[in-house]
Every structure is written in C-alpha cells, then in structure tokens.
Amino acid sequence: YLGEFAINEVDEKNRRLKVELSQIPAVQGAMMTLNAKNGEIIAMVGGYDFYTNKFNNAIQAYRQTGSCFKPFIYTAAVEWGMTPDTPVSGAPISIGGWQPHNYDGSLGWADMPIKTERAKSMNIPAVHLLQTVGIQTGSQMVRRFGIKVPMSPYLPSALGATEVPLDQMVSAYSAFPNKGIRVEPHMIRKVLDRDGGPLEEWEHTTYKVMNEYVALTMVSMMRGVVQGGTATAAQSLGVPLAGKTGTVNDHTDVWFIGYTPTYVTGVWMGYPGKKKPLGNDMTGGKGALPMFIDFMKTFLKDKPKEDFAKPPGMPEDMKELFRQRQRELAAERAELAAEAEETADPNATPATTTGEPKL
C-alpha cells in the first residue's frame, strides 16, 4: 500500500522534492528468443520485476494462445494434401450452441485460399480446416511440435483454446525456419570442473516435426502475416520475417511469435494469474508486436541479414495425397451446388456474385 516514486530533483534549501510516480504495473509480459538451429535460449524475460514476483511467465504461465495456435492446424492441412492455394470454406458454423466469429464479429465469410486466411487470421476457415483434417490429426500434429499440453479435443482448439506456456510455443515455432527440425531448447552448453574437465554437457537432441517442403511452405504463408496481414508493422525492421499474432477472446491475452531464418522471438502480455481484458483495442498486433520490434531492432543490429529458403517441390509421396484432396473437394463442391439448385426458388431473381464477404 506504499506509493513508489522516482526522485527527479532535490531542493535542499526549500526542502522540496520533485518526484514521479513509479507504479508497479498490474499487467505483466514475457519474452523469449531461441536460436532455431542449435536450440540455445538467447534471451528470456519472465515478468516485470523478479524481486517483487518470482513467477516466471515465460515458462510457468499456461495461457490460451489465440491465433498463434493456428499454424499447427495449417501444418496438418498442408501435410494432409492441401496447398497455399487450396480454397477454405468461410461458411457460418453452429455446433451445439457454439458459433465462432471472425475478429470483426462476422459469422461468415467468402471462401478464400489458405494463404490469404493465414495472412488475415480469419477464425471460421481455421475451424473448417480442423474439422476437415480431423481433431485427432490436429492433436497428433501439436504433439509432434513438442507441445506437452494435450490439445483440447474440440473444434475451438483451432482458435487457441489450449493453454500453453511461451517457451513451448517458441520452441514449436523454431521447427519452421529450421526446415522441419526442432532442436531441444537449453540454457547451458556444458559444466566444467576447476581443471577444465567436463562434468556435464548438453546432448544435441533433435526432433523431426515435418518434412522440408511442409516447413518452408508454412514459412512462405507466415511471411504473408508480415507482408500484408496482421503484423505489417514488423516490416520496419527491414529484414525477412515470418510469424503470427494471437489475440484471445475478450482481449485477455495478446501474443506475437516471429522469426528470421535463425532466431525465433515470442512475446506474451496479459494479467498474471487471471483472465482480465486488456482493452478493446488490444490485439497481438498492437500489444505484443511493438515489444517484438523494439527488442529485435537492437538484437539484429550485429547479425547478418538472412533470407528464407524457398520451398522445394512437393515430394512424390505427397502428390497423390494432393490429387486425392482435389478430387474430394471437387466432389464436395458439386454436391453443394446440386443441393443449392434443388432448394432454389425458381421465381427468385438470380443473385449477382461480387466476391464481397458474406456477412
């Protein structure tokens, strides 16, 4: 209950102080930077002040991830036989009273290619994708990324309903720039005795999450988030970047996880230990992204400018999957068109297709 002040000026003659209120914020944040190629944790901030609260929000806080969870579902879709140009339904969804909506409040949208949805972070197409590939397939993919928290077995998981700590999310994202390989994160390379002999040494532990084609296809789509999506402000850094913003329902948590070909940095912000709105305008792009930019601006100064590798050609074993999905999608659309024709009012005036979003 004591107010904290920073003393700016002391007037000893008149016994006056000029002070500035230095208030401990209720909102906390966390940040972590990881080297995707070797798994080394470069930087970690777990909260505002270790001396006032020793809880590390970077590794101990389990929070809903919002749209930052979507890349795992889209990875499953690409591996399942879809491509960035595959159209995804934006039709309204209503299941047992649950009706998801996009960030702008709309309950439906025009069909769009996966790469466009990725950049704009639309919610309803993401739910359709999880419904298409299957919850079990999505859940298995999440485990392959090293997320230790089981994905909740229902469709809202596509929108980040699962609670995951920041360090696991950053480690999972490191598989994208590292061409599908995730290296186990670590903070200590080796421990030596007083004579310089090794007592302990980190074992180079790696996990193959996906093949190179899938990983770099996802990088290509996630670059769209920076180039023309919800994180365009990151272009100010002047280096090739990919990533994803995340905003949880009611604006209780905001995220941004971005990466270069070598470094992955994740930022989270929210009220520690409780779900409390940060404000109606607070999103991943407005709350977490500025912190990412501020840090990376200094961090990347002495680092060589790198560009992402281009995705290789689709592997032969995936081409048949792709052709199969194309046939399935064509059959599904033909069936929907036939149903629409059967139920159409013959006296109705034909509608004009404009390509505008269906609200």
Q: How do residues 250-303 score in pLDDT, each as one tens digit?
A: 999 999 999 999 999 999 999 998 999 999 889 999 999 999 999 999 999 999
Q: How do residues 218-250 score in pLDDT, each as one tens digit?
A: 999 999 999 999 999 999 999 999 999 999 999
Q: What is the mean pLDDT of residues 39-62?
A: 94
What does the pLDDT read at residue 165? Answer: 98
How far apart, in whole angstroms, are the C-alpha atoms of residue 230 and residue 223? 11
Tell me the average pLDDT of the chain: 91
pLDDT band at 346 (very low <50, low <70, confident <90, very high): low
Q: How do residues 103-150 score in pLDDT, each as one tens digit?
A: 878 888 888 888 887 778 889 999 999 999 999 999 999 999 999 999
Radius of gyration, CA atoms only, the chain: 24
- DSSP class per residue in 171-213: HHHTTTTTTTEEEPPBS-SEEE-TTS-EEEE----EEE-S-HH
What does the pLDDT read at residue 199? Answer: 94
**% of the chain exceeding 90 in pLDDT:** 70
The answer to whether residue 5 scores a pLDDT higher than 80 is: yes
Of 63, 31, 98, nearest to 247 by C-alpha is 63
pLDDT band at 344 (very low <50, low <70, confident <90, very high): low
